[in-house]
Amino acid sequence: MLPLHGTGVLVTRPRHQAAVLCRLLEAQGARVERFAAIDIEPIDERRDWVARLGDLEKFGLIIFSSANAVRYGAALLEQRRDLPLAAIGPATARALNQAGYRVSVQSSEGADSESLLRHPKLNAVAGERVLLIKGTQGRELLEQELARRGAEISVAEVYRRECARPSEAEMRALETRFAAREIDAVTATSVEIAANLLALATPRLRRAFDTVHWVVPSERVAQSLREGGVKGPSLLARSAEDQDLVSALIRWRAAESGA
C-alpha cells in the first residue's frame, strides 16, 4: 500500500506552483484538493526598473528572493550571463538555472533569508552594492541585515502577492470536503498563506481547521498559526520544497501506523 493511501491533503500553493506538489502527493496515494490561498501578479515596470537600476555591473551581487522573483524579474538581467547571482533556497536556484543563469551564491543548509545570510559571501558586503529582486510585502530581514553589514541596497519589486478571491461555490465545496472528513492535512508554506487561509475561512472552516494537521516549512509558520488561534497540530517539514512537504506527511503517517 502506498504510504499516503487515502490521506486527504489540501494544497494551498498559488495556482501556477501547485502542480508538482500535487503530482508527488498523488504518486504516494494521497487524495489532493487544490485551494490557492494566494495569487501572484506581475508588476509590469521592467522599463522603469532598467532605467532606474542602470548598468547591472555596478552590483557586487544580485539576489533573487524566490522562484516568482525569477519568473517575473529575470528579464531585468537582459540575458547577461556574467552577473553574480544569489538565490534564496534551492527552488529559486533551480528557476535561475532553468532560465539559463548560473547561481554563484546559495545556502547549502536552508531555504530562507537566515540561511542565505550565513553564507560567507554575505558576511563580506561592506561597501558593496547589492540588488534584491523580490515581491511586495515580503520579509525585510535580508535587506535590513545586509544594510546593517554595510551594503548599499537597491530593491526591485517585480510581483505582488494578493489574498485569493475564491468564489462562493469554491468555499461551499471546501466546506463540504471538510464536513465529509475528506481532508486530513493542509499545507501552509508561508506565513502569508497561513494568514490568508484564516482570513478566508468561514466559521465552519475555521472550526474544521482545528481538526486537521498543518504541514509547515518552519517553526515561524507554525507559530503564526498558533497565534491565529489554530489548534490543529503542525507537521514540520525540512523546507518548503515539494519533496520535503511530502516526506513530512509520510513520516507522520508512518508514525501513526507504527511502521
pLDDT, tens digit, 9 for 90 and up, residues 128-155? 999 999 988 777 888 899 999 999 999 9
Domain endpoint, select from 145, 161, 177: 161
Residues 53 and 151 in one domain: yes
Residues 99 and 146 in one domain: yes
For residue 46, give the nearest of 71, 83, 14 by alpha carbon.
71
| 129-135/152-163 β-pairing | parallel
- Taking the C-alpha atoms of residue 110 and residue 244, their distance in angstroms, rounded to an integer, is 12
pLDDT of residue 47: 61
pLDDT of residue 140: 83
Cell numbers placing 151: 551594503
Q: Cα dihedral sign for 42, 44, 48, 54?
A: positive
- Cα dist from 118 to 15, 106, 108, 110, 145, whole Å: 32, 10, 10, 10, 11
Residues 54 and 142 in one domain: yes
pLDDT tens-place string over residues 87-104: 998 889 999 999 999 999
Considering the domain boundaries, does residue 107 fall inside one?
yes
Residues 74 and 155 in one domain: yes
Domain endpoint, select from 143, 161, 179: 161
Considering the domain boundaries, does residue 128 fall inside one?
yes
Residues 141 and 191 in one domain: no
Residues 88 and 144 in one domain: yes
Q: State how many domains the chain has.
A: 2
Domain endpoint, select from 92, 127, 161: 161
Query: Could you tell me the residue range of the domain that residue 206 belongs to?
Result: 8-38+166-257
Residues 156 and 198 in one domain: no
Considering the domain boundaries, does residue 1 fall inside one?
no
**pTM for this prediction:** 0.85
Residues 100 and 151 in one domain: yes
Considering the domain boundaries, does residue 2 fall inside one?
no
Residues 52 and 157 in one domain: yes
- Taking the C-alpha atoms of residue 128 and residue 61, their distance in angstroms, rounded to an integer, is 8
Question: Exposed/middle/buried for 101, CB within 10 Å: 0-12, 13-18, 19+?
Answer: buried
Residues 23 and 103 in one domain: no
pLDDT of residue 136: 85
Residues 62 and 104 in one domain: yes
pLDDT of residue 54: 79
pLDDT of residue 141: 85
- Taking the C-alpha atoms of residue 149 and residue 79, their distance in angstroms, rounded to an integer, is 30
Residues 6+ apart with CB under 8 A from 146: 117, 122, 125, 130, 132, 153
Residues of the chain with pLDDT under 50: none
Q: Residue 126 belongs to a domain with what CATH number?
A: 3.40.50.10090
CA 168 from chain centre, in angstroms, equals 26
Residues 137 and 227 in one domain: no
Considering the domain boundaries, does residue 133 fall inside one?
yes
**Greatest alpha-carbon span in the chain:** 60
Considering the domain boundaries, does residue 3 fall inside one?
no
